[in-house]
């Protein structure tokens, strides 16, 4: 019989680094800085939703910074993506880790601000996050992506994910190990 797996034993999100980026664990005080970056309505064309106020973002970040769901069944890992040299925020990456059967699953998401897109930052940040998650034992990686969101599809492929037949709220579930 294999030992029981749990999300309780996971470490807190560390600072992660890639060649051009630094991924900084989310804090509530990031809301001011991120509000301007996330205000472009075009960012929500495929994901739904709308730009939020700094107050709404602070409330969201307060919940996310807790790092876990109220029932303890999910661990939340959220990072602000920064340019390594300047420290400028360019986006976010996040993972929700759960136990599925005898495996740890990480549901991934990424957002890069409109003015910073088409430079590979989403791919680079998502790859750094996925590498850390795999090191921690999450080998079932998934991302739900709108079928016309070409940039996110490229990121998913770079992570080694492939489309499945599952459709969740109009998005295709991509999965990989």
Q: How far is CA 113 from CA 38, 50, 53, 73, 131, in A?
A: 6, 14, 16, 30, 23
The range of the structural domain enclosing residue 94 comes to 17-25+72-176
- Please compute the mean of the pLDDT values over residues 105-120 and round it to a whole number: 97
For residue 42, is it within any domain? no
Return mean pLDDT, the chain. 94
Q: Is residue 64 part of a domain?
A: no
User: Average pLDDT of 10-39?
Assistant: 95
Q: What is the structure's pLDDT at 3?
A: 53
**Residue 6 included in any domain:** no
Confidence of residue 129 (pLDDT cuts 50, 70, 90): very high
Asked if residue 36 belongs to a domain, the reply is no
Q: What is the domain count for the chain?
A: 1
Structure confidence by residue, pLDDT tens digits, 56-94: 999 999 999 999 999 999 999 999 999 999 999 999 999
Flag whether 67 is in a domain.
Answer: no
Separation between Cα atoms, residue 177 and residue 159, nearest integer Å:
9
φ/ψ of residue 108, rounded to 5: -105, 150
Q: Are 152 and 146 in contact (CB under 8 A)?
A: yes
3-state helix, strand, coil in the chain (%, to 5): 30, 35, 40
In a domain, 61, yes or no: no
Weakest-pLDDT range from 33-47, 102-116, 143-157: 33-47
Look up the CATH number of the domain holding residue 120.
3.40.630.30
In this predicted model, what pLDDT tens digit does every residue of 31-51 receive, in sequence order?
999 999 999 999 999 988 889
Share of the chain above pLDDT 70, in %: 98
On whether residue 41 sits in a domain, the answer given is: no
Asked whether residue 56 is domain-assigned, the answer is no
Tell me what pLDDT residue 1 has. 35
pTM for the model: 0.94
């Amino acid at each position: 019989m294999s030992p029981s797996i749990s999300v309780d034993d996971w470490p807190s999100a560390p600072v992660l680094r890639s060649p051009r980026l630094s991924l900084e664990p989310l804090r509530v005080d990031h809301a001011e800085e991120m509000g301007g970056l996330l205000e472009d309505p075009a960012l929500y064309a495929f994901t739904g939703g709308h730009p939020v106020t700094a107050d709404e973002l602070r409330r969201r970040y307060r919940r996310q910074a807790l790092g876990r769901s109220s029932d303890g069944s999910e661990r939340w890992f959220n990072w602000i993506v920064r340019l390594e040299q300047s420290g400028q925020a360019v986006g976010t990456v996040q993972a929700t880790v759960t136990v599925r059967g005898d495996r740890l699953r990480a549901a991934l998401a990424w957002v890069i601000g409109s003015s910073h897109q088409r430079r590979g930052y989403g791919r680079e940040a998502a790859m750094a996050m996925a590498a850390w998650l795999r090191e921690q034992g999450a080998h079932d990686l998934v991302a739900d992506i709108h079928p016309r969101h070409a940039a996110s599809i490229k990121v998913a492929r770079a992570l080694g994910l492939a489309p499945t037949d599952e459709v969740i709220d109009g998005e295709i579930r991509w999965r990989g190990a």
